[in-house]
Structure 1
């Protein structure tokens, strides 16, 4: 009789131990470096604060093209930029439950963005000067990192752009291709 109670007690304890273990929490990467190569090349560092929030920091270069009908001439321009985003990844656990990748912050996010565009580093006297500007906006985006750490990032939003001449309400859209560096 004692053996039956002992067996029952051990089976209940073992059952509680097995089922009381919590499901592993899916989390963003603590430190992630990336190089963007298309549309706006640059270097990215994304720091994870907790399981769903990161600070995204990017130093990049905007490549632009202008054409003047008056001079019948075209020019390229290059604008250095700094981009800071506070991102909240909201669907990591859902993706993990479906068996989809969450590594390297592969998920959907909402963000608050602040961008500073510096003065253009290319000069052409026949064209207006590209003046520095500051932009603030909320964003929705998705980021996916595939095998071999190939990364795509798409985000959309609307915000306010301020420069020395005026303040405008603007639409934002960004698409970048790059590679995650490191682990």
Structure 2
């Protein structure tokens, strides 16, 4: 009986230790599309629950003088660095849910830089000014099958416009919103 109890305690201890060692992947690479853009990303492991996401992509914008008048569509390169803390990996493992491909809930600080480069045409009276934004974000990421993912997130933060010569800007700083829904493919 003592041997049985010892084996039971040892087995439960091993499962508990395995659950505590849930970890993000060493490196994962993929592409994502969303309502306003396309992005390629890599997430590299920093600790068992923190990954650094680096992302290159094109953010899209649609704007116009009014809803009836002419509209413009542009794409702007976006460079993003985003440390992500996947805070529920152990809980997902305990419930036999997937964590591959960094599937889980996360908190992050999304830092995005848009250079002074526009793909598309701007009206003559419009000037694009490069900017940087820092947005604390909460989100979820889930896998469907082996390669497909979906991700959503929301956050509110800060942006700063970089001043250009001969452009008068009343507000160089402001409130930035990150609201995204993306579908992706993981390699």
TM-score by length of 1: 0.84
Q: CA deviation at 1:33?
A: 0.1
Counterpart among 47, 51, 56 of residue 50 in structure 1: 47
Q: Match of 1:140, SS?
A: strand
Counterpart among 117, 139, 151 of residue 137 in structure 2: 139
Q: CA deviation at 1:133?
A: 0.6
Corresponding residue for 1:151?
149
Corresponding residue for 2:22?
26
Residues 48-107 of structure 1, C-alpha deviations (whole Å, 9 max, x = no match) = 112100000110001121222499322210100011111100011111111211111110
Corresponding residue for 1:176?
182
Q: 1: distance between equivalents of 2:13 and 2:69?
A: 73
Whether the aligned pair in 1 keeps the contact of 2:73 and 2:121 (CA below 8 Å) is: no
Whether the aligned pair in 2 keeps the contact of 1:68 and 1:127 (CA below 8 Å) is: no
Whether the aligned pair in 1 keeps the contact of 2:34 and 2:180 (CA below 8 Å) is: no
Counterpart among 104, 107, 118 of residue 104 in structure 2: 107
Corresponding residue for 2:166?
none
Higher-Rg member (1/2): 1
Q: 1: distance between equivalents of 2:58 and 2:76?
A: 5
Name the Cα RMSD after superposition. 2.4
Q: Structure 1: which 5+ residue stretches go unaligned?
A: 1-6
CA 1:142–1:20: 2 relative to 1, 3 Å: closer
